[in-house]
Structure 1
Amino acid sequence: MIGIEVFSGPGGMSLGAKSAGINVKIAVEKDYYAAQTYSKNHKETTVVIDDITNIKEFVFDRGKEQVVLFGGPPCQGYSSSNQKNKSKENPKNWLFKEFIRCSKLIMPDWIVIENVKGLLNLDKGFFLNEIFKDLNELGYTVNYKVLNSVDYGVPQKRERIFIVASLNGIAFDFPSNKLESYITVGDALTDLPILNNGQISDKLEYNSKSESNYSKLMRCNADKVKNNYVSKNSDLIIDRYTHIPQGGNWKNIPNELMSNYKDHSRCHGGIYRRLSNDSPSVVIGNYRKNMLIHPTQNRGLSVREAARLQSFPDNFEFLGPINQQQQQVGDAVPPLLAKAIFDKLMEYKNI
């Protein structure tokens, strides 16, 4: 099966597709640094660095193989954390139309769209219904489901909607959860090096004294850890961190350390959250802005630690300035979740 990804970001969804045996031939991403990361890690894929609105054709040899078009149109307007842009007036909420336009250009056998759960209820389901209507008009049979990445071997609670459409009249049956227990933050980070606030280290040795089955899976025979980049926080921020236990958040910080907030009692519950070793992570989104805290060290997460919590293997290298790497990791589709979708899709390839 041939794959084409649009709105690719650094390539988490493509990594899942390739792990399932799909030959991803083309990826489209307009962000320079995300595209560079994609190109670095997917050398056999042609990466087009351009705005999707400028793409007028997709040139590739499809032969007799089935084709899947996939991707996640930018979701800021659909996010439950973005209350200002949840309306029909926000042009970013209409980028799914570009996905539909690409579908018309290619007419793939399969379409897979990933997005935030908020798409379900935005404008009382208007945008979700528009996607269904547009795909139905093109002749596709559409199914959707909200999946939680933690159910598919990712050490993170991250709910996302997946829309899967078939040009051949197939009602896609989503993969079921077969896990007996969840992967925890401790499982994910156990063998990674101890770091300091603001540390920037390209390659470091593993902590070989502590391993889990998950960490062994993520190593992929890498000999050293890359992307050990931690944002530099002020002494005040670090002081706040010291008061927060595993699983705690800003509510554990003494009032006198929060005096710069106009009303700190109204802080979002996800701010200053220290992860717990014994549980899966909360959503790895903009983890620098939200100031997610390492479970045992008084600092923010490194790029590699966040990547582990997203199920990116250690041989996947992120490029660009640290803030760009953090954004790439936070926005990406967890590769193991994507793999579960594409593994199921491959079961239909001979139908």
Structure 2
Amino acid sequence: MSDIFKSIDLFAGIGGIRLGFERAFQQNLRTVFTSEWDEYAQKTYRLNFNDNYEIAGDITEINESDIPDFDICLAGFPCQAFSLAGKRMGFEDDYKGICRGTLFLDVVRICEFHNPKVIFCENVKGLLNHDRGRTLKVIVKSFEQIGYKVFYQVLNSKDFGVPQNRERIYIVAFRNDIDCETFQFPTGTNKTTCIRDILEDAPISSKYYLSDTYMKTLIAHKERHKSKGHGFGYEIRDLDGQAGAIVCGGMGRERNLIIDHREHSMVPVTHIKGEINKDDIRKMTPREWARLQGFPDSYKLEIADTHLYKQFGNSVTIPVIEAIANNIKEILQ
């Protein structure tokens, strides 16, 4: 029987990183602590995980000694600008001198105290070049200073069986006493999935079909930006192609519109201006967004759509996490 590894889930969102690790480690992983400050994300998390502890809120207010011991730290920390505080001695400074006041520091603080076997982080691809690459250097250096060997790589979700073009950076740090020379990031082997594969069964509620008035607004908005040489605006995706990266704010949904000619009601169920468009243009549903991130259909979605779109836009692609977690598991075993 393999060891049981204990994990903590920081900046947990709706538990996507945890789900990927649970798929890889199966019965051999037990989550002992979760921190997430957003109350709606907490609601979705509680619905889907049956934990015998309360979700902790703001990580900056949690004392590291109050966290149970753990072997694996999971952290999808937000990428904040790093204040290069201190004496500007470059990266020879200790981590407390170079990245004060950022949430990343809480990951380092907690891991320095508990000394887990592995630290796993996910972040936006922009972290690679943020502040001309210095931000990533600070992160790597900070983990090295508390006794870890660090690996990182950008991977694209579309290579891992979901039809979403989403590049993210993944950081894996092994404690120095663990032989991790053979660790490698996975290469995606399933690149053939398309949007058509993740559509919900028809009929889709008419509330997801855009009104003709709103379509006119989107077209005008796109034309305005086009005349200024910007590529902003709505986008209709090919059902046999891939979605763009789903994001939580602004044009997130409008960048991933589809044309769905299957039968649906033309009677609005929400208050709209004008009538439902005749071209069958619609937003993807929250369940379709969940599938774009590789969440199983058993994952419960019970809060308002607005929050669900935000949560999936902020979340991670589970099959990518699972593939990396499998390679981490091999090293640990």
Instruction: Check 1:275–1:51 CA distance in 2 against 1; reply closer, same or farther (3 A cut).
Output: same
TM-score, with normalisation over the residues of structure 2? 0.78
Instruction: Check 1:267–1:27 CA distance in 2 against 1; reply closer, same or farther (3 A cut).
Output: farther
Question: What is the alpha-carbon distance in structure 1 between the residues aligned to residue 232 and residue 201 of structure 2?
Answer: 24
> Which letter maps to 1:17?
F
Question: What is the alpha-carbon distance in structure 1 between the residues aligned to residue 106 and residue 114 of structure 2?
Answer: 12
Q: Deviations over 1:29-48 (max 9, x none)?
A: 00011011111111136452
- C-alpha deviation, 1:345, in angstroms: 1.0
- C-alpha deviation, 1:97, in angstroms: 1.2
- Does residue 175 in structure 1 map to residue 179 in structure 2? no
Question: What is the alpha-carbon distance in structure 1 between the residues aligned to residue 82 and residue 117 of structure 2?
Answer: 31
3-state SS, counterpart of residue 343 of structure 1: helix
Map of 2:14 onto structure 1: 10
> Which letter maps to 1:126?
R
- Does residue 192 in structure 1 map to residue 192 in structure 2? no
Question: What is the alpha-carbon distance in structure 2 between the residues aligned to residue 156 and residue 93 of structure 1?
Answer: 33
> Which letter maps to 1:12?
G
Map of 1:54 onto structure 2: 61
- Does residue 32 in structure 1 map to residue 36 in structure 2? no
> Which letter maps to 2:19?
L
Map of 1:286 onto structure 2: 248
TM-score, with normalisation over the residues of structure 1? 0.74
Deviates more, 1:272-281 or 1:119-128: 272-281
> Which letter maps to 2:21?
A
Question: What is the alpha-carbon distance in structure 1 between the residues aligned to residue 327 and residue 115 of structure 2?
Answer: 20
3-state SS, counterpart of residue 300 of structure 2: coil
> Which letter maps to 1:306?
W
Question: What is the alpha-carbon distance in structure 2 between the residues aligned to residue 347 and residue 29 of structure 1?
Answer: 29
Checking the alignment, whether the CA contact within 8 Å between 1:33 and 1:324 is kept in structure 2 is yes
Instruction: Check 1:268–1:185 CA distance in 2 against 1; reply closer, same or farther (3 A cut).
Output: farther
Map of 2:171 onto structure 1: 163
Map of 1:236 onto structure 2: 213
- Does residue 302 in structure 1 map to residue 285 in structure 2? yes
> Which letter maps to 2:102?
W
Checking the alignment, whether the CA contact within 8 Å between 1:28 and 1:47 is kept in structure 2 is no
Checking the alignment, whether the CA contact within 8 Å between 1:71 and 1:113 is kept in structure 2 is yes
- C-alpha deviation, 1:182, in angstroms: 2.1
Map of 1:107 onto structure 2: 115
Q: Deviations over 1:109-128 (max 9, x none)?
A: 00011001100111111110
Q: Deviations over 1:302-328 (max 9, x none)?
A: 111111111111111234332211100
Map of 2:151 onto structure 1: 143
3-state SS, counterpart of residue 195 of structure 1: coil
Instruction: Check 1:234–1:148 CA distance in 2 against 1; reply closer, same or farther (3 A cut).
Output: same
Checking the alignment, whether the CA contact within 8 Å between 2:160 and 2:319 is kept in structure 1 is yes
Q: Deviations over 1:64-121 (max 9, x none)?
A: xxx110111113x5xxxxxxxx6748x9992211211121232110001100110011
Structure 1 residues not aligned, in runs of 5+ = 78-85, 199-229, 241-249
Root-mean-square deviation (Å): 2.7
> Which letter maps to 2:50?
K
- C-alpha deviation, 1:262, in angstroms: 5.8
Question: What is the alpha-carbon distance in structure 1 between the residues aligned to residue 197 and residue 77 of structure 2?
Answer: 31
Checking the alignment, whether the CA contact within 8 Å between 1:156 and 1:283 is kept in structure 2 is yes
3-state SS, counterpart of residue 115 of structure 1: strand
| Identical-pair percentage | 32
- C-alpha deviation, 1:338, in angstroms: 0.9
Map of 1:23 onto structure 2: 30
Q: How many residue pairs align between the two structures?
A: 288
Map of 2:324 onto structure 1: 341
Question: What is the alpha-carbon distance in structure 2 between the residues aligned to residue 196 and residue 42 of structure 1?
Answer: 28
Question: What is the alpha-carbon distance in structure 1 between the residues aligned to residue 330 and residue 232 of structure 2?
Answer: 39
